[in-house]
Chain A
């Protein structure tokens, strides 16, 4: 299973796949912008502020998706010791930190007009913030070691442990926010959304997922170049010069 996954990943991250992915992302993002800003009507209660839904929810989805990818890639690295899994974990963590911060910032902007506050210690918001801090720590650990192999092992351990910490943190924060046991009236019912807004939201989620794949692909290529440059610097007679590698990469893409 692992090898077939690697094959698919290899095809996407090839220069041609990356170019196609880039264009697909651009088209999907444009479609999402049109859906969110033009096609979707304003919300009956919130007016235009509700349009934040179409970027806030996809960002939050990417936050959790990317750290799940870090978790799986970290386990795969520890099991196979292939550098590509470590590069995938690193790429996904960097993109994930970006979108987690974006989701929190957008949620805060949205919370002010709708709830009346920039910040509330709501379980989901608080857990997302803890998630962000854990993966900022993950990126800090990646900068600790000079040895690539050791860096990859350390990061993989943090990637696994950090992900397992998230459900426990979520439970603790949920209980912490509760007053005490008892029954409650449901102010927050099942979420219902008008069909056209649902379509706009799905477009946003799809476009952001493509964006995630594209950013990870670009970061993977960068990681490969970095590794080759390091290898070349360490053994100049065996490898080609870094400039030659960059030119080769550029001509393959152009």
Chain B
């Protein structure tokens, strides 16, 4: 094998992979829109399938049958949501959620997929509290 060729190939591959790594870690990429962005976009995204992320406003959750209504916020803007999909066991007030669905002309976000963003926090429960086991009751 030609030594010069090995060096050139190594340089190209290393350079490309470094470019890939810096691009991949730069992190200015988002997986969902915030309620502020959704309301700003307004009518231009009505009916377009999108994802919205935000925190559930405490006290806003109303469940009626399989449908759950609540409000999400990013700290500045609030957005009403009607979710028709399955609700994970971790869903509760104050939780970060990512919703998939469409923004309706009525100003409400109609989601059919509700994902709870885990905050990466693992702690024991407070003394005397038995955490509700999320294992089998989930999904309903």
Contacts and interface: CB of A to CB of B under 8 A. Distances in A.
Direct contact between the two chains A and B in their complex (CB within 8 A)? yes
Contact of B138 (A50, A112, A175, A196): A112
B88 A114 contact: yes
B30 A182 contact: yes
A147 interface: no
Interface string A180-191: 111111011111
B13 A50 contact: no
B70 interface: no
Contacts of A192: 120-122
A193 B124 CA distance: 9
A49 B125 CA distance: 13
Contacts of A237: none
A116 B126 contact: no
Interface string B99-139: 00000000000000111111111111110010111111111
Contacts of B123: 43-45, 193-194, 197
A47 interface: yes
Contacts of A168: 17, 20
B89 interface: yes
Nearest to B23: A171
B30 A178 contact: yes
B75 A116 contact: no
Nearest to B91: A116
B61 interface: no
A50 B124 CA distance: 10
Contacts of A181: 28-30
Given A116-B86, A181-B29, A171 B120 contact: no
Chain B CB count within 10 A is highest, among A44, A50, A185, for A185
B57 interface: no
A183 B111 CA distance: 22
A191 B126 CA distance: 19
Contacts of A44: 123-126, 129, 131
A45 B121 CA distance: 9
Contacts of B132: 47
Contact of A184 (B34, B55, B89, B133): B34
Contact of B90 (A114, A171, A180): A114
A188 B117 contact: yes
Interface of B: 13, 17, 20-21, 23-24, 28-34, 37, 50-51, 53-55, 74-75, 85-91, 96, 98, 113-126, 129, 131-139
27 contacts: A41-B125, A43-B122, A43-B131, A44-B126, A44-B129, A46-B90, A47-B131, A47-B135, A53-B122, A112-B88, A112-B138, A113-B90, A113-B134, A114-B138, A116-B88, A116-B91, A168-B17, A168-B20, A174-B24, A179-B33, A182-B28, A185-B74, A187-B117, A188-B96, A189-B120, A190-B120, A196-B124
Given A113-B137, A181-B28, 16 more contacts: A43-B123, A44-B123, A46-B118, A46-B134, A47-B135, A49-B138, A50-B122, A116-B91, A116-B138, A167-B17, A171-B24, A179-B30, A181-B30, A187-B53, A191-B122, A192-B120
The 8 A-B residue pairs with the shortest CB-CB distance, nearest first, are A116-B88, A113-B138, A191-B120, A187-B96, A41-B124, A47-B133, A178-B29, A47-B131
